[in-house]
Structure 1
Amino acid sequence: MDNFDYIIIGAGSAGCVLANRLTENPNNKVLLIEAGGNDSYPWIHIPVGYYKTMHNPKTDWCYKTEPDETMENRSIPYPRGKTLGGSSSINGLLYIRGQEQDYDIWRQLGNKGWSWNDVLPYFLKAENQERGQSQFHGVGGPLSVSDQRIKLPILDAFMNAAQEIGIPKVNDFNKGNNFGCGYFQVTEQNGLRCSTAVGYLNPIKNRKNLKIETKCHVEKVNFENKKAVSVSYWKNNQSFTTKANKEIILSAGSIGSAQILQTSGIGNGEKLSKLGIDVIKDSIGVGKNLQDHLMFRPVYKVKNIKTLNKKINSLIGKLMIGMEYVFLRSGPMTMGASQLCGFAKSDSSKETPNLQFHVQPISTDKLGGSNLHDFAAFTPTVANIRPTSKGEINIISKDSRENPKIKMNYLSSDEDRIVAAKGLRLIRKIVLESNEFKQYEPEEFRPGANIQDDEELVKAASNYAQTIFHPVGTCKMGQDDMAVVDDQLKVHGIKNLRVIDASIMPNITSGNTNAPTIMIAEKGADMILSS
């Protein structure tokens, strides 16, 4: 098959959804292009395997950010999935939709059809909820959403302590208002990862109207009179160009989609010209508006209660963990990136929660590192989920095989530094001042309870701060000068080209971004099929 109606660039969280939905009609011929390989690497499918898939060139682009003067001039690793399933194959498996207000604000910005009531049906359509069908949950969809198969006393203690200061216990964060503390649900089925490759692509990969090309690096989209007509890419060091009869869809993520638009001639015209790229459309917003969640990682030592540090550090403990997984499909090997979730307000002036906790029953100096501390400790991370700092993606060459510059500017706004300090202080209040934790004699190992000045606190904590891997917004949806796509996800001023992935978010959602990305793809597929 070499005659295609649609070409999808990127077989990740969005691309696999689109491939499934567009090929439901046997008359639609679809080419799905992925830079990575297939998803046969075993650690992809074992939930805790994200420790093995991130920073691994088999499955990760292994990006690094530019040195960030707002974070002690640190450059940090920036994982993005490079395999079928994309980042849904290497992420922390946490299922959070965000808040009702997130989507209502998108709608208020002029994006018709993107309010909470508009998008909720697509969350339901995607979902196969282990707990069954309800007003807010669907069954029978391709994406399995399950309760976690591990509970630990240290996590219950945090939940009780949070309740002491007015953060209630909840068991569902996905009804539109996520205030409270409880266990995350995860994208798993029977203790195995349910990526979009597993849920959406594998069941339909043999459809005769779908061709999947892996290990293909896209060079650029080609145009005739501002109409997207074909895609050029490399495979096995050979160059190919394939035409699309109807549409080309960019689903390469917030890094990749912005990069490919720029190498194709859509972006800041002055910058593109300097790189020798013919400007198809001067679109200054491409690569701008980059938003992410920065996670602060305080560590607290505890006594009289177990964390997983010692168990994971011992050979016998590892053996027991492995046996539990093999025979029961439960225990630490089924863990997502975090087990306990919390949403709270940095202060009472906020209408909805603007802080998120990811509580982990382990501690380490380096996120993703295998060297856990040799003492009992846990990590109650905190993130500002509506940051005002923004970064950007800029190519440095017309050759898309050279990684673009990723500039984050994480703590560049005064508001973000203020919220960071308040978040760290709220964690202190929960752990150090609650009656629940007194019996465990908590001690702030990092950044250190002796640090009381807000600026010093944020500065010390930023030495260990990391991305939660939620880049969005670089091809944002809207009507203003910085908008790249309209509310039908069509690139402004260009025919037959859409962007459908997390890069179209005008504002980052208040929580983890994988579920919203899958929703965007479900909705985008409907838009294509009805056009």
Structure 2
Amino acid sequence: MASYDYIIIGAGSAGCVLADRLSASGRHSVLVLEAGSRDRSPWVRLPLGYGKTFFHPQMNWRYQSEPDAGLGGRSDYWPRGKVVGGSSSINALVWARGLPHDFDDWAEAGATGWNWDVARRTYEAMETRVAADGRREGHGPLHVQDVSDQIHKVNRHFFAGIDEAGLPRTADCNGAEAEGATAYRITTRDGLRHSAARAYLAPALKRPNVTLRTGVTVERIGFEGRRASEVHLCTKSGAEVLRAGREIILSAGAVTSPRLLQLSGIGPADLLRAHGIEVRADAPHVGGNLQDHLGLNYYFKANEPTLNNQLRPLWGKAMAAIRYALTRRGPLALSVNQCGGFFRSRPDQAHPDQQIYFNPVSYTTTPSGTRNVVNPDPFPGFIIGYQPARPTSRGRIDISSADPGAAPRIRPNSLATEEDRQAVIAGGALCRRIMQTPALQGLVESALDPDLRQLDGEAILEDFRARCGTVFHPVGTCRMGDDPAQSVVDPYLRLHGFAGLRVVDASIFPNITSGNTNAPTMMAAHRAADLILESA
């Protein structure tokens, strides 16, 4: 039976970070297990290529939620990375640390040692921040790029509208003043996606003490009493068992980490028994506490050229490709989410409660309403969209069968609280206020239905229920806390009541952060490595 000091289940945003940091000293052998494939596709390396990976069956798990009463009984599409690098290999690249109070709230919720001061220092250790003029700050492995010099010129209308609406601007939503309109920082290096796999795992794989295995399915974790000691695999050549000398680290993500615990006998007892799984621990919070951001876009035809004019025609695609090949710059080197920021919908809000996106492109006419940012609409168009930053509704993710390959039961329980419904109305009203400014009114040729500018609060909520979708930020399903009766892992990310097993990924968030969740997921893994090495 093969044995390693550390076995990391999942080569995603968290697992890649852990592999690098746990192996750096050379003293520990590290095995990384990944169900997906290697990240060699050119669509992964190309920043705008995520428009192609969004539905790609070889690189995306393409989950579906169950019908959701809060969304009028609709099922929602949940893309997750099925590739080395996980969702950091297929996401829209926006690097948003989260707001300081997000992490102070973690500490108050029982995640001792995870406040903003700790998170900020961890981010600073992780990042190399690259200014638009090439100046660098920090010496971390992950490059975070300021691309404000490359964004489309139509974005000037968004910033003018922000000024006319009396809303703030900020130089960087990850800086000391996080609130306000900004050009989003993205995870690119030299015009290529700088995923967790590229920043962390690629250097780690050069060491003799790191092994990566792809295309393997973890069926369950095996125990000796209350200590996790084995990983049971299904491979192309059959069943296999691996042994962990020190620890097993579950980094399969907010969808799969709780399911693997349940398949291993740790979860709600009634659920496990219903699927014929022996109950090792009745842990009702495994799979619970699911939170996610819901977002909605409003589409407008513009009266001046946008990215549509560049990327829709074949000659425009060719010119963009030639420019990218020669300079690693231009629209192919960017995210579609070029501008936006964090805002208070009302001045009396204690913290920003909305995140806004302004995209100089639209893609409303693609088949089945799906996105394809590489083939936008045949007319000048743009999008303004938003997501309430700190939703309070909580759902569940559970196994649907004892078969590890069976699809999960994803029950988001969206808009279940009055607070969340009011936040939706407030966010729509904020976008309406921005769109009613002279600067943005002057950009609009016409609105595609519905016209946000004509919607009242009730209509905003009704439209949101009918059209909103996940912004792909599921967290919380193996919640961290100091009380075993209310959480799954302790502040050291050790599974309550067991030894030799930790969970390190977005599932451990006590509360969802205010923005995009890739950054805090990688931050959590970076800090977790410190905690693991301290105990070693």
TM-score, normalized by length of structure 2?
0.95
Comparing 406-415 with 349-358, which one deviates more in the overlay?
Answer: 406-415
Which residues in structure 2 correspond to 1:376-395 (within 5 Å)?
376-395=380-399
CA distance in 2, matches of 1:376, 1:461: 24
> Per-residue displacement from partner, 1:76-116 (whole Å, max 9, x unpaired)?
21111111111110011111101111111111223221111
User: 1:411 is matched with which residue: 408, 415, 423?
Assistant: 415
CA distance in 1, matches of 2:453, 2:140: 50
Amino acid at match of 1:416: D
Query: In the alignment, is residue 397 of structure 1 matched against residue 417 of structure 2?
Result: no
State whether residues 221 and 264 of structure 1, in contact with CA within 8 Å, keep that contact through their aligned partners in structure 2: yes
Partner SS for 2:228 = strand
CA distance in 2, matches of 1:291, 1:179: 23
Match of 1:498 in 2: 502
Match of 1:457 in 2: 460
Partner SS for 2:154 = helix
Query: In the alignment, is residue 445 of structure 1 matched against residue 448 of structure 2?
Result: yes
Query: In the alignment, is residue 121 of structure 1 matched against residue 125 of structure 2?
Result: no
Partner SS for 1:182 = strand
Match of 2:270 in 1: 270
Match of 1:75 in 2: 75
Give the aligned length.
525
Instruction: Tell me the CA shift for residue 177 of structure 1.
Output: 4.5
> Per-residue displacement from partner, 1:107-130 (whole Å, max 9, x unpaired)?
122322111111212111111111
Comparing 451-460 with 505-514, which one deviates more in the overlay?
Answer: 451-460
Amino acid at match of 2:158: F
Match of 1:358 in 2: 357
Instruction: Tell me the CA shift for residue 442 of structure 1.
Output: 5.1
Does the C-alpha gap of structure 1 residues 520 and 163 become closer, same or farther in structure 2, counting only changes over 3 Å? same
Amino acid at match of 2:169: K
Instruction: Tell me the CA shift for residue 447 of structure 1.
Output: 2.1
Query: In the alignment, is residue 422 of structure 1 matched against residue 421 of structure 2?
Result: no
Matched-pair identity in % = 40
Amino acid at match of 2:448: F
Structure 2 residue ranges without an equivalent (≥5): none
CA distance in 2, matches of 1:476, 1:449: 37
Match of 1:527 in 2: 531
Match of 2:329 in 1: 330
State whether residues 447 and 461 of structure 1, in contact with CA within 8 Å, keep that contact through their aligned partners in structure 2: no
Partner SS for 2:13 = coil
User: 1:475 is matched with which residue: 469, 473, 478?
Assistant: 478
Instruction: Tell me the CA shift for residue 441 of structure 1.
Output: 4.1
State whether residues 283 and 482 of structure 1, in contact with CA within 8 Å, keep that contact through their aligned partners in structure 2: no
State whether residues 432 and 453 of structure 2, in contact with CA within 8 Å, keep that contact through their aligned partners in structure 1: no
Partner SS for 1:298 = strand
CA distance in 1, matches of 2:460, 2:311: 30
CA distance in 1, matches of 2:255, 2:469: 17
Instruction: Tell me the CA shift for residue 349 of structure 1.
Output: 3.0
Instruction: Tell me the CA shift for residue 386 of structure 1.
Output: 0.2
Instruction: Tell me the CA shift for residue 138 of structure 1.
Output: 5.3
State whether residues 298 and 452 of structure 2, in contact with CA within 8 Å, keep that contact through their aligned partners in structure 1: no
Comparing 358-367 with 96-105, which one deviates more in the overlay?
Answer: 358-367
CA distance in 2, matches of 1:9, 1:272: 21
Partner SS for 1:223 = strand
Which residues in structure 2 correspond to 1:208-247 (within 5 Å)?
208-236=208-236, 238-247=238-247
Instruction: Tell me the CA shift for residue 37 of structure 1.
Output: 1.1
Instruction: Tell me the CA shift for residue 139 of structure 1.
Output: 2.0
Partner SS for 1:320 = helix
Query: In the alignment, is residue 158 of structure 1 matched against residue 158 of structure 2?
Result: yes
Instruction: Tell me the CA shift for residue 451 of structure 1.
Output: 5.1
Instruction: Tell me the CA shift for residue 501 of structure 1.
Output: 0.7
Amino acid at match of 1:174: N
CA distance in 2, matches of 1:272, 1:317: 55
Structure 1 residue ranges without an equivalent (≥5): none
Amino acid at match of 1:387: P
Amino acid at match of 2:475: V
CA distance in 2, matches of 1:387, 1:246: 37
Does the C-alpha gap of structure 1 residues 176 and 502 become closer, same or farther in structure 2, counting only changes over 3 Å? farther
Comparing 192-201 with 101-110, which one deviates more in the overlay?
Answer: 101-110
CA distance in 1, matches of 2:466, 2:316: 31
> Per-residue displacement from partner, 1:480-525 (whole Å, max 9, x unpaired)?
4230000000010111110011110000011111111111001000
Query: In the alignment, is residue 344 of structure 1 matched against residue 343 of structure 2?
Result: yes
CA distance in 2, matches of 1:269, 1:195: 38
> Per-residue displacement from partner, 1:144-186 (whole Å, max 9, x unpaired)?
1111262222212111111222222211111355210010010
Does the C-alpha gap of structure 1 residues 530 and 452 become closer, same or farther in structure 2, counting only changes over 3 Å? same
State whether residues 44 and 89 of structure 1, in contact with CA within 8 Å, keep that contact through their aligned partners in structure 2: yes
Partner SS for 2:271 = helix
> Per-residue displacement from partner, 1:297-322 (whole Å, max 9, x unpaired)?
1112221x221223322112111211
> Per-residue displacement from partner, 1:302-351 (whole Å, max 9, x unpaired)?
21x22122332211211121122111211111121400022111223311
Q: Supply the RMSD in Å over aligned alpha carbons.
A: 1.7
State whether residues 250 and 257 of structure 2, in contact with CA within 8 Å, keep that contact through their aligned partners in structure 1: yes
Instruction: Tell me the CA shift for residue 450 of structure 1.
Output: 7.4
Comparing 374-383 with 10-19, which one deviates more in the overlay?
Answer: 374-383
CA distance in 2, matches of 1:509, 1:422: 19
CA distance in 1, matches of 2:110, 2:66: 33
Query: In the alignment, is residue 88 of structure 1 matched against residue 92 of structure 2?
Result: no
Amino acid at match of 1:323: I
Does the C-alpha gap of structure 1 residues 519 and 6 become closer, same or farther in structure 2, counting only changes over 3 Å? same
Query: In the alignment, is residue 517 of structure 1 matched against residue 521 of structure 2?
Result: yes
Instruction: Tell me the CA shift for residue 437 of structure 1.
Output: 2.5
CA distance in 1, matches of 2:452, 2:106: 40
Instruction: Tell me the CA shift for residue 462 of structure 1.
Output: 3.5
Match of 1:30 in 2: 30
